[in-house]
Amino acid sequence: MTALKLENVNKSFGPVHVLKDINLTVEEGEFVVFVGPSGCGKSTLLRVIAGLEDATSGTITIGDEVVNTVPPARRGIAMVFQSYALYPHLTVKDNMGLGLKQEGQSKEVVEERVGKASAMLDLDKYLARRPSELSGGQRQRVAIGRAIVRDPKLFLFDEPLSNLDAALRMNTRVEIAALHRTLSASMIYVTHDQIEAMTLADKIVVLRDGRIEQVGSPMDLYNNPANKFVAGFLGSPS
């Protein structure tokens, strides 16, 4: 079963053509990593998939539904940002549960899902704290928890670890890999980090100037990069 299908997706901001004829399939349960230089359109592509931006043309299909006109909250997607985007005045528990409440879920369902996600992420002890009373790594786990409680079919991560120090990045990377196995959801993950890409991905998508340059497994791309640009990104011997 296909989780996501993009067909000839284009996105322009006024005269600026940012995404150019994107064609891509993500299978159910697949972990797909987007890499590419700053400004090549990675975040825009995630935002178009999530429905935070409309595609200028092309078709976005999630599961078996064309979602071009479906609002973000009904796409079965959860997004985790680099900046965490937590509410400073809310506790960890309320940050994690807010989206569910807004969906109209009962108090019991909210309690149960927040409890489960916080156990999964080792956040049980911090539920009453506010974001300012947490470390960067804990804040990012809250942001991940807020995504998990919605039980999405597809997770979108936009450089989630880039604000963390090296040791924490590694720990959190291992946690995300474990979550992927536990939840058996599809994940799309944007990163600049070659090690994250090589260790997390089933499939790597290399973007350049709004186009897909090459798609393949980490080993495919490492051993058979289409050109110097791809080789440079994956650290292939030249």
Kindly list the residues in this chain that would bind ligand ADP in the complex (CB under 6 A).
13, 16, 18, 36, 38-44
Q: Say what angle helices 107-120 and 92-103 make with each other, to 10 degrees.
A: 140
- Residue 43 within binding range of Mg ion, rule CB under 5 A: yes
DSSP string for residues in 143-178: HHHHHHTT--SEEEEESTTTTS-HHHHHHHHHHHHH
- By beta-carbon proximity to ligand ADP, the closer residue of 68 and 81 is 81
Q: What does 205 interact with, of ligand ADP, Mg ion, none (CB < 5 to 8 A by kind)?
A: none
Nearest to 233 by CA among 200, 189, 193: 193
- By beta-carbon proximity to ligand ADP, the closer residue of 53 and 123 is 53
| Phi, psi dihedrals of residue 68, rounded to the nearest 5° | -45, -35
DSSP string for residues in 31-75: EEEEE--TTSSHHHHHHHHHTSS--SEEEEEETTEE-TTS-GGGT
- Residue 44 within binding range of Mg ion, rule CB under 5 A: no
Shortest reach from residue 73's CB to ligand ADP, in Å: 20
- By beta-carbon proximity to ligand ADP, the closer residue of 18 and 234 is 18
- The span of 9-17, 38-46, 84-92, 210-218 binding Mg ion (CB under 5 A) equals 38-46
- By beta-carbon proximity to ligand ADP, the closer residue of 4 and 120 is 4
Shortest reach from residue 207's CB to ligand ADP, in Å: 7
**179 contacts 186 by C-beta, under 8 angstroms:** no
Shortest reach from residue 82's CB to ligand ADP, in Å: 10
Q: Strands 2-13 and 16-27, how do they pair?
A: antiparallel
- Residue 191 within binding range of Mg ion, rule CB under 5 A: no
Shortest reach from residue 36's CB to ligand ADP, in Å: 6
- By beta-carbon proximity to Mg ion, the closer residue of 131 and 160 is 160
Phi-psi region of 145 (alpha: psi -120 to 50; beta: other; left: phi over 0): alpha
Q: What does 214 interact with, of ligand ADP, Mg ion, none (CB < 5 to 8 A by kind)?
A: none
Shortest reach from residue 158's CB to Mg ion, in Å: 6
Residue with tokens 């079919």: 153
Residue 91 CB-density burial (10 A; 0-12 exposed, 13-18 middle, 19+ buried)? middle
With CB atoms as reference, the residue minimizing the distance to Mg ion is 43
The residues of the shown chain that bind Mg ion, judged by CB under 5 A, are: 42-43
